[in-house]
Amino acid sequence: MIGQKKYDIAAILINYNSNSYTKNCIESIIAKTASSLNYQIVIIDNASEKEDFSSLESYIENKKYYNVQLVRSAINLGFGAGNMLGVHYSNANYLAFINNDSLLSNDCLSIIYSKITNNPDFGICGPLAYKEDGSLLPTLDHFASPAKEILGRKLLEKLNPEKYPNRKIIYSEPKRGQFISGSFMIVKSEDFNTVGGFDTNLFLYFEETDLCKRLSKIKKYAYLIPEAKYVHFHGVSTPSSITIKTEHKISYLYVIRKHYGYFWHQVILNKLRFHFFFKSLFKPSYWKIFRVLLVGAPLSESLKLKQKITS
């Protein structure tokens, strides 16, 4: 990166067989972001079908954007590793990880950049999210933890609203939470590098939980910036299926083991085994999840290790 232009923010997007959403996301970033903010856009194509990638490649070439770069991976790296590849191609003081199925409603990048650069404890920030129908999409949430698993989100919010803020309230001022949605988050590059970036053992899910937890240990906290707003077309690249739900449990149990140790990992693993055993009696498709839980939901069962490298 020596001699290359240093940007204020690098917006990193991942495309996976959803080029139309990626194009719209790029357009919204360019349309809504003030010209006074120096930014670059890095798109990582996570081994999409050739037709999908070619369409996106042609679009970027025809538009001739000077600050947009497209990089194709030969394998689906997932969320964390895909974004880490994007970081490799970025050169900016701040990193904005934005899901490609997002549309900026206002100048999110400039608004958050102003807040995060003027508040030392604002470690990682995100805008207020809405669904495509205009309803609120919760952005703040609480760490995946034994307390949350056993007591539940609602009870935690009642017992300690300061530590566990209500995620369904529209706040008027920046609000600190435990973590913010991974669909749109901005972090200082220096802080991101200090904690080691994303844990690439995670293929899908809980990457933001893990990152925000590690940032909090260096007193860099997660904040919702409600002045900034965007629309998130939730689940475009990862539609719900038994396979995806299985991946969710693998990631969840990995994060529990990593941050809370063997004992709580075993407690929650057995709780999930019990739950999915009885659930599978009524919905046979859930036997797949139960089978993975029965062997401990190891990372070896992850989709990350069940794919072929494409040319």
**DSSP state letters, 76-141:** --HHHHHHHHHHHT--EEEEEEE-TTEEESS-HHHHHHHHHHH-TTEEEEEEEEE-TTS-EE--EE
Q: How many CB atoms lie within 10 A of CB 67?
A: 14
Decide: 37 and 110 in contact? Cβ < 8 Å.
Answer: yes
Sign of the Cα torsion 183, 184, 190, 191 reads: negative
The number of beta carbons lying within 10 Å of the beta carbon of residue 139 is 26
pLDDT the model gives residue 2:
45
Q: In b/e form, how buried is each residue of 216-243, taking b as 16+ CB within 10 angstroms?
A: beeebbbbbbbbbbbbbbeebbbeeeee
pLDDT at 309: 78
Q: How far apart are CA 296 and CA 293, in angstroms?
A: 5
Measured CA to CA, the distance from residue 236 to residue 147 in angstroms comes to 30
Q: What is the pLDDT along the chain (311 residues), one digit of tens a residue?
A: 444 679 999 999 999 999 999 999 999 999 999 999 999 999 999 999 999 999 999 999 999 998 999 999 999 999 999 999 999 999 999 999 999 999 999 999 999 999 999 999 999 999 999 999 999 999 999 999 999 999 999 999 999 999 999 999 999 999 999 999 999 999 999 999 999 999 999 999 999 999 999 999 999 999 999 999 999 997 665 667 999 999 999 999 999 999 999 999 999 999 999 999 999 999 999 999 999 999 999 999 999 988 877 66
- The confidence score (pLDDT) of residue 5 equals 77
Distance of CA 186 to the CA centre of its chain: 11
**Distance (Å, whole) CA 169 – CA 146:** 24
- Position 239 scores a pLDDT of 64
Give the model's pLDDT for residue 51.
Answer: 97
Question: 186: part of which helix (H) or strand (E)?
Answer: strand 184-188
CA–CA dist 237, 126 (Å, integer): 20
Are 142 and 148 in contact by the 8 Å Cβ rule? The answer is: yes
Angstrom distance (rounded) from CA 190 to CA 6: 14
